[in-house]
C-alpha cells in the first residue's frame, strides 16, 4: 500500500525525575521542551547521516535525534535509489533526501551508522565515498559506529594512523596496533564507537565536539543519560510470570509526534529477541512524522492491527504523539480489552499520563516523564526509571528506554537471552 505522508509536527517534552512532590514539580517546570534545539545560532552546524538498506536503525535514529536536539541541521540521506529504506531489524525509515543531492554540500560532520548489510551499502556508494574522503582531507569531523569503521572507513583507507574501535564482531578486521576495545575512541577528526548500546555516548561526543562541553552535558541531562556507569533503577511490585508458550506478539502504536528514539529502540530490541512486533499508525496514513522530524513508516494501520490480540501493548511517548494516541478510539478499545483480560500493557515517557487519563493505571504503581508525573493520581515509585506492577510496565522515557526494553526481554525470556542480546548490541546488562 502506498503511504500518504502526514506532515503535522508535534513536540516531545523534557525529561527529569520522579514522584509527585513540590520539588519534582519545580524540576519539571524548569525543563526545556526537548523538540526545541538547545543551540541557537545564525549559522547552524550541518551534519550528514547516510542510511541504506540494512542500516542499524537505533544507531541512525539516536544520532539524528540527539544532534537535532543539540541544534544541528541534520540531513538524513539515502544511498539507495529510493528514499524509504528498511533497517536491519525491520523498521522502515524515510530519508530527507538522496545522497546525490548532497554531493556538492559542505558538512561540519559526517556520521555513519552501522548495521549489516547497511554498512556494505554505504561502502559501495561512490558519492558518499567522495563526500567523506573530502571531509577527511579538509580535517573536518567524521565518524562511524558498529560495523561501519571496519567495513566502510577501513576499505576506503580513511583510518590510517588513527586509533579506532568498532563492533566486537568486526575487531579482527582492524589493524591490531591501532585497534582499541573502548566504547568510544576520538582520534583527531575521527570518532568511532562499538554498537547500538554505545550510540548515545557516540552522539553526545559529537555534540561536545561541535558545540562544547556544556551543550553535551545539557543534552545528556535532558535525555536522562547515565554515562558514567550504572543502569536506571527498576522497581517491581506484585510480581507475576510473563512467559508464553508461543512467540509473544507486541503492538507498538505510533502517531505524528511520537518520540522516534523510544519507538525505534523498543521495536529494534524486541525484534532482536525474536518477538513478533507490529508497529501500527493511528493516523490516516501509515507514515508518521516523529517529534524530531524523523519519518517512520508503520507496518499497518491501527484498524488493521485491531483484527488481532496482543500479549503486550506498549505506548511510546512524545507529548504530541501521546495525545494523538489517546484520541484513537480503536487503540482505547484494544487497551480496554487488554486490561480486562489481564494481558500486559504499558507506556513510556508521557504515555503513562494518557493511560492514567483513561483509567488504565487504576490501583497501579507507575512512573512517567517528570513533566507529566503530577498527572498520575495513583502511587508513584520514587527514584525508579522503570516500574513494573504486575502486568503493567512504565518508564520515564528517552535515555531509560534501552533499559526498559531489556527488562521486557528479561521478563519474557529470562537471563540467558537477555544477556546474549545485550552482548550483541554492546549494552551493559545487569541481570539483577
Helix H or strand E encompassing 194:
none
- The answer to whether the beta carbons of residues 111 and 142 sit under 8 Å apart is yes
Query: Closest Cα partner for 68 from 214, 210, 228, 196?
Result: 210
Q: Which of 146, 166, 349, 395 is catalytic?
A: 349
Three-state helix/strand/coil letters over 242-295:
CCCCCCCEEEEEECCCCCHHHHHHHHHHHHHCCCEEEEEECCCCCEEECCCCCE
For the question of residue 349 being annotated catalytic, the response is yes
DSSP letters, 370-416, are TTTGGG--S-B-TT-SEEEETTEEEE--GGGHHHHHHHHHHHHH-HH
Query: What are the phi and psi torsion angles at 14 (to 5°)?
Result: -80, 155
For residue 61, give the 3-state DSSP assignment.
helix
DSSP 198: G
Between the two ends of the chain, the Cα-to-Cα distance in Å is 44
For residue 63, the cross-strand partners are: none
The strands making up 295-297's β-sheet, listed across from edge to edge, are: 84-86, 92-94, 295-297, 287-289
Residues with active-site annotation: 349
Amino acid at each position: 500500500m502506498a503511504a500518504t505522508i502526514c506532515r503535522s509536527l508535534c513536540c516531545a517534552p523534557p525529561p527529569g525525575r520522579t514522584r509527585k512532590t513540590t520539588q519534582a514539580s519545580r524540576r519539571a517546570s524548569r525543563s526545556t521542551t526537548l523538540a526545541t534545539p538547545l543551540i541557537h545560532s545564525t549559522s547552524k552546524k550541518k551534519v550528514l547521516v547516510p542510511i541504506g538498506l540494512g542500516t542499524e536503525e537505533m544507531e541512525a535514529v539516536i544520532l539524528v535525534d540527539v544532534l537535532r536536539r543539540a541544534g544541528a541541521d541534520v540531513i538524513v540521506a539515502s544511498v539507495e535509489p529510493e528514499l524509504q529504506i528498511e533497517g536491519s531489524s525491520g523498521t522502515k525509515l524515510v530519508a530527507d533526501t538522496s545522497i546525490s543531492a548532497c554531493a556538492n554540500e559542505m558538512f561540519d560532520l559526517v556520521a555513519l551508522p552501522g548495521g549489516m548489510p547497511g554498512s556494505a551499502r554505504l561502502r559501495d556508494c561512490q558519492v558518499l565515498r567522495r563526500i567523506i574522503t573530502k571531509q577527511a582531507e579538509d580535517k573536518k569531523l567524521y565518524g562511524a559506529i558498529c560495523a561501519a569503521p571496519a567495513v566502510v572507513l577501513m576499505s576506503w583507507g580513511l583510518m590510517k594512523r588513527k586509533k579506532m574501535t568498532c563492533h566486537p564482531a568486526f575487531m579482527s578486521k582492524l589493524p591490531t596496533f591501532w585497534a582499541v576495545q573502548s566504547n568510544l575512541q576520538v582520534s583527531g577528526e575521527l570518532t568511532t564507537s562499538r554498537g547500538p548500546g554505545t550510540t548515545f555516548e557516540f552522539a553526545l561526543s559529537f555534540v561536545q565536539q561541535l558545540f562544547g562541553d556544556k551543550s553535551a552535558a545539557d543534552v545528556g541531562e535532558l535525555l536522562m543519560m547515565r554515562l558514567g556507569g550504572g543502569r536506571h533503577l527498576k522497581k517491581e511490585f506484585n510480581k507475576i510470570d510473563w512467559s508464553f508458550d508461543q512467540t509473544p506478539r507486541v503492538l507498538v502504536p505510533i502517531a505524528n509526534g511520537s518520540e522516534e528514539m523510544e519507538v525505534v529502540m523498543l521495536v529494534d530490541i524486541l525484534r532482536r529477541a525474536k518477538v513478533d512486533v507490529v508497529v501500527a499508525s493511528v493516523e490516516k496514513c501509515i507514515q508518521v512524522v516523529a517529534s524530531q522530524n524523523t519519518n517512520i513508516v508503520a507496518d499497518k494501520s491501527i484498524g488493521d492491527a485491531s483484527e488481532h490480540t496482543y500479549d503486550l501493548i506498549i505506548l511510546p511517548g512524545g507529548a504530541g504523539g501521546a495525545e494523538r494516541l489517546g484520541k484513537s478510539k480503536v487503540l482505547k478499545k484494544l487497551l480496554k480489552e487488554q486490561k480486562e483480560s489481564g494481558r500486559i500493557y504499558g507506556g513510556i515517557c508521557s504515555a503513562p499520563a494518557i493511560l492514567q487519563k483513561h483509567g488504565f493505571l487504576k490501583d497501579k504503581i507507575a512512573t512517567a516523564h517528570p513533566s507529566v508525573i503530577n498527572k498520575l493520581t495513583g502511587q508513584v515509585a520514587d527514584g525508579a526509571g522503570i516500574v513494573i506492577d504486575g502486568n503493567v510496565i512504565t518508564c520515564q522515557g528517552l535515555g531509560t528506554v534501552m533499559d526498559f526494553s531489556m527488562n521486557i526481554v528479561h521478563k519474557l525470556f529470562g537471563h540467558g537471552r537477555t544477556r546474549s542480546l545485550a552482548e550483541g548490541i554492546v549494552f551493559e546488562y545487569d541481570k539483577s
